[in-house]
Chains A and B, each alone.
Chain A
Amino acid sequence: MRIVVAEDLYLLRDGLVRLLQAYGHEVVATATTGPETVAVLREHRPDVAVVDVRMPPTQTDEGLRAVLAARRETPGLPVLILSQHVEQLYARELLVGGASGVGYLLKDSVFEAEQFIDALERVAAGGTAMDPAVISKLLTSGSPDQRLGTLTDRERSVLELMAEGLSNTAIAGRLFLSESAISKYTTSLFGKLGITDDETGNRRVLAVLTYLNS
């Protein structure tokens, strides 16, 4: 894949580039400021961009704003946001233009290199990758949802992984279960939550996120 990396700290940028190259990907350009990120994204049209939230010149949410601007210009432009902290607020802003090709992960997620590369490839393919921390905040915030309370522990973990953007196959791999068992769980939990189960892939993630968001 052709990848753009936007990160102002040299050590992290260098580490990310090495990691991506180690997995056989090509880093076509790097950026170190918000405005530079916008320009690089426009110029290179990468398969996916990895962008830090906080960057110069203001040291505020430059990266996030650059991404939102770029995605307004090119809807569905695949972007993975990496940050030292995750906020529901930012996640919702990212999802406004649809969940397609959106990733939002803690920087810690690079520790699990395989999963990180999986997530990156998923986003590049138009999928979603939400950090577990965002999902667990979504699940516990707001007024207590009666219907969420009726889920079994298993159904709840399936729901969380689904909201992170994983496919049934990937969920089965994570939970060490068969794919048919996962689809049984998804059917029953969709029934309990009242979501129609004819959605697949990306649209299913969006349905789950929308449910949790409301």
Chain B
Amino acid sequence: MRQLRSWMRDCGVGFVRAAQAAGVALLIPVVWAAAVGLWQLWGGSAWSWIAPFVWAAIGTLLLAKPVCRMTRTMVANWTGIVLPPGYRELPPITQLSTGYWWNGHSYSRSREDARREQRMKNWRYDPATWRDLRFALLAPVSFGLVALVPLLGVVAAVLALTALPTGYLSGLLVTIATAPYAWRSVIPVATRFLGASATMELADRVDTLTALRADTTIAQAAEIRRIERDLHDGAQARLVALGLALATAEKLMETNPEQAKELLRDARAGAATSLTELRELVRGISPPVLNERGLADAVRAMAMDLPLDVAVETDLPQPLDPPIESALYFGIAELLANAVKHSAASHVQVSLLQEGNQLRAEVEDDGRGGAEIHPEGGLGGLRRRLAVFDGTLEITSPEGGPTRAWMMVPCASS
């Protein structure tokens, strides 16, 4: 009994869905049918077809995007499969000091003109436009026809009602038999032709990589300049002073041994200070423990030095690529520093694990929470540095805590 009820429900739901799918798929054929009708109405002469058909063509271009949007919504509602639309993002429109508006391609007098021009250009060059059009033309001859079958069954039944009862029955039978299945034909067609195409994914990837390259180039140049400045003002200057002191001490050795001794003492103190400075600098570039022991022990060593109770759990099967190791190390350092500075936590758990072909580095504290990723802040910078390796940074930090931040980086699977 229950089976019968669920089957009937399937039938009803399927019928409604098939009707929707057929309606969406047949929007454009309807426009063309109307054009043909109009042409016939005007006498079907040699020249009167032009106007209705131009209108139908424009209608097709305008309807392609809505048809795709509706299909995407239907598929998402019915199956939960989300098909990313993949339209290219429009660059912002900015006013220049000359008063003109720049849309990324050309100048315009007003903001509206700039926006319109940008839309037109983007519409022509966005691969998503051509995909939409292709799909809109493909829809009626693929799932449109299939989804039409249950509806045609009903139509046949109604038409046959007056003529012969066997036709009536077979019409209903067709509807009942096909209703639960016909609408499903939309799924393979949509997933195959409506998703982002390889070209679109590549275009996206190129955009992302270009932005990343710019970011890393800038960051790297800034880093190198910082190191140069530190060396120039620190160790280099101290070594010059050291040489000077030694030269002077040598000169004074015979005439004024007391002063020479004092100079030597100063020189020794200078050497000690420059060593300390160099050690700090080296730690910032590449922590020695990381070179000597790898990520797990380097994180353990770092955790030991913090004024917090930090537990470290690691399960990394193989040695990692040095750049990834370094990025994860400094990422964990940043997250731990945040925990020390802002969270008022008393206990922190760090875990380093391999999940499939991803590395997961997680830092969780029992502090007060409320942490966010600001694009301009330290965590935003960390996210950008990880993106270079196709890595990600996620954070959950409700008010009142706890804060959990995790980085995922792909690694070559063993």
Residues of A within 8 A of B (CB): 53-54, 59-61, 64, 84-85, 87-90, 92, 107-108, 111, 137, 140-144
Contacts and interface: CB of A to CB of B under 8 A. Distances in A.
A89 B275 contact: no
Nearest to B306: A141
B288 A89 contact: no
Contact of B292 (A60, A92, A141): A60
A61 B297 CA distance: 12
B36 interface: no
Nearest to A113: B268
Nearest to B293: A61
B300 A144 contact: no
A84 B288 contact: yes
Contacts of A143: 307-309, 346
Given A60-B293, A61-B292, A108-B275, A85 B283 contact: yes
Given A85-B282, A85-B289, 19 more contacts: A53-B292, A60-B291, A60-B292, A84-B279, A87-B301, A88-B304, A88-B305, A89-B300, A92-B304, A108-B276, A140-B307, A141-B305, A142-B307, A142-B308, A142-B309, A143-B307, A143-B309, A143-B346, A144-B307
Contact of B288 (A54, A107, A108, A137): A54
A140 B300 CA distance: 16
B297 A89 contact: yes
A144 B275 CA distance: 30
A59 B293 CA distance: 10
Contacts of A142: 304, 306-309
Interface residues of B, number: 23
A140 B304 CA distance: 10
B293 A137 contact: no
B241 interface: no
20 contacts: A54-B292, A61-B292, A85-B283, A87-B301, A87-B304, A88-B301, A88-B305, A92-B304, A108-B275, A111-B268, A111-B271, A111-B272, A137-B304, A141-B307, A142-B304, A142-B306, A142-B308, A142-B309, A143-B307, A143-B309
Interface string B285-320: 000110111000100110011111100000000000
A41 to B, nearest CB: 20
B293 to A, nearest CB: 6
Contacts of B276: 108
A108 B276 CA distance: 9
B272 A85 contact: no
A144 B347 CA distance: 12
Nearest to A58: B292
Given A108-B275, A108-B276, A89 B304 contact: yes
Contacts of B346: 143
Contacts of A92: 304
Nearest to B269: A111
Contacts of A107: 275
Nearest to A87: B301
Contacts of B291: 54, 59-60
B380 to A, nearest CB: 29
A54 B289 CA distance: 10
A152 to B, nearest CB: 21
Contacts of A53: 292
A47 to B, nearest CB: 28
Contacts of A141: 304-307
A143 B303 CA distance: 12
Nearest to B308: A143
A98 B179 CA distance: 80
Contacts of B300: 89
Contacts of A84: 279, 282, 288
B263 to A, nearest CB: 15
